[in-house]
Amino acid sequence: MRERIEDAWGVFVESSEQRGLDHRFVLGSISAISVVIIVIVASLMSISTNFLIDFDAGQQNALDIEWNEAVYMPRAEECIDESNGQGFPEFGVGYEPSLAMDSEGNMFITAHKDLRWGGEATPFGPILGGDLGLWYACEDGRDTSWDYWASWFWISNDGGLTWSPGDNFDPTPGNHLTANYLAGGSECLGDEGDIAVDGEDVIYYLDTTLEDNWWHKFIDGGNTYEGGICDRMNTMAADDRPWVAAQGDGIVHYLGNSGASPPECSGDSGRYWYYHSENGGASFSQCYAMPGGWSTIASEQNGTYVYVAQESADSNSGTVQIRISDDYGRGTGPSPSDGTWQAPIELGPRNGNCPEGYPVVETNENGTVAVIWADCPDGGTGPWDMWVAVSYDRGLNWSSWEITPFERGMSMYPFVSISDNDVMAITFYGLDFDQNSSEDDYTAGKQWFLYAGALQTPQENDTWVFSVADPTPLHTVTVYEEAEGDTHALHDFFEMVISADGTRLGIAYQQNIGLHPFEENEEQRYIKFVSAEIRLD
């Protein structure tokens, strides 16, 4: 362990020097690495923090959150390679984690694989700026951080204390470029995915290959793999980030980000296309356009309502809108049919084009719906705003208001979760411009943290009391990022879940540690999870 600590310390110092990090901030950042080391060697215990953004300490519906210790997602012991360039080779390298929970409290995480860490070279070497060659998984001496060919899929059956691969996601040593249809689910070559749980506690894990998608289904808290292996979705469009939702008995919603109109579809245009299944994902309707900018989807697990939150257009400004179906999204297909989807409803302003602030929608079983988004009227590296819109009657009436957490700062990828008793929790990656008594804005040496807060039945103009969920900084702004205006170090999103009774929440997120061995001006990206208890009395 001592050698591991010294190696990690050396990786960080080397990273700081190579990036030209202002040495006034190095000691503070080394302290951050010390916190990481404490996290690794400490036994599980509850962590309390008084690092709060407290707008109104007397607000009656603000809830206290008691944070547990954060944990890293594990790698299979037989796949750990001490020489592959990881600062912490026993932990999973990845980014953009998705998180879901079933009715029993079992939780599931997937995360984007690091394609540049699939061996000494890649099949797309020239495109990715590396050498041409094969990808590898779970092979010592091949510089790979992959345990298997699918994207990461972890399950926890103890409230997030421990994590392990789901059924049929065992290590798959070797090299190949296509799915092995005769092997387990972990043999289905994938890139990134999303997870949803229907009203029968069936877990739907979609893993995209960019060209199409694989479906994996589980029951029994992820311990039993259901259906065929490597079930191809057969959508009619190439895809990037997939979003999925599920409800009832096998109703599955897929919102595909094609970025352009699929040529196979109707004459409609749109960045996002909706696909609908009522047989557990065995087949899907095709080609229903949902014109607008960045979008996300949510559905009631046992009710009939489905919601899609969107930017009104792929533009630098506009509005945030929501589309609603009150009948499972049925009747949709190639136009002119809109099925049960109502006309979009405007929720609030978008005065800038935050590259990391798209709207997120969530709902519960009682008709509460919330949409949250970041706005950047002063540009991508100026102070950001944060907005929320809430409805307590399934979208018939809305209240929208600004809930910006910092006087000057950035609130990246805000996410909202709602319990069935209307506890509403919000989390985000936050960078306070005023930290260290600074008067500058986005400058080298400032640190990103994970923040969260919860309110009971929030009403218009209520404010959240946000606290730091993990005392370890997620990332420190580098000289390169300041010069380039690059705010993308923590990538595209992360997610949170809350229990039905509103007493427990969990967050899957990303932390950067040390230089990336294969990517210039990038760091090693690790997936973490933190849980908390919410006091309702």
- The residue that leads in pLDDT, 421 or 257, is 421
- DSSP, collapsed to helix, strand or coil, labels residue 166 as coil
User: Tens digit of pLDDT for each residue in 437-447?
Assistant: 999 999 999 99
Q: What's residue 8's pLDDT?
A: 41
Residue 294 has pLDDT above 50, yes or no: yes
pLDDT value of residue 52? 54
Of all residues in the chain, what percent carry a pLDDT higher than 70?
A: 86
Average pLDDT taken over every residue of the chain? 87
Report the pLDDT value the prediction gives residue 420, as an integer from 0 to 100. 98
Burial of residue 278 (number of CB atoms within 10 Å: 0-12, 13-18, 19+): middle
| Per-residue confidence (pLDDT) for residue 125, from 0 to 100 | 77
Rounded Cα distance, 355 and 466, in Å: 23
User: For residue 356, which of 415, 297, 309, 435 has the smallest C-alpha distance?
Assistant: 415
Alpha-carbon separation of residue 126 from 129, 192, 233 (angstroms): 5, 21, 29
Question: How many Cα atoms occupy the beta-carbon half-sphere of 200 within 13 Å?
Answer: 12
This prediction's pTM: 0.89
pLDDT at 107 > cutoff 90: yes
pLDDT in tens, 377-409: 999 999 999 999 999 999 999 999 999 999 999
d(CA 290, CA 270): 6
pLDDT of residue 487 exceeding 90: yes
**How many other C-beta atoms lie within 10 A of the C-beta of residue 303?**
18
- Residue 228 makes CB contacts below 8 A (sequence gap 6+) with none
18-31 average pLDDT score: 36
User: Can you give the pLDDT at residue 234?
Assistant: 82
Q: Which residue has the higher pLDDT, 297 or 290?
A: 297
- Cβ contacts of 336 within 8 Å, gap of 6 or more: none
pLDDT digits (tens, 9 = 90+) for 205-225: 999 987 788 999 999 999 999
What pLDDT is stored for residue 335 in this prediction? 58
pLDDT, residue 336, reads 60
State the SS3 of 123-156: CCHHHHCCCECCCCECCCCCCECCCCCCCEEEEE
Is residue 36 over pLDDT 90? no
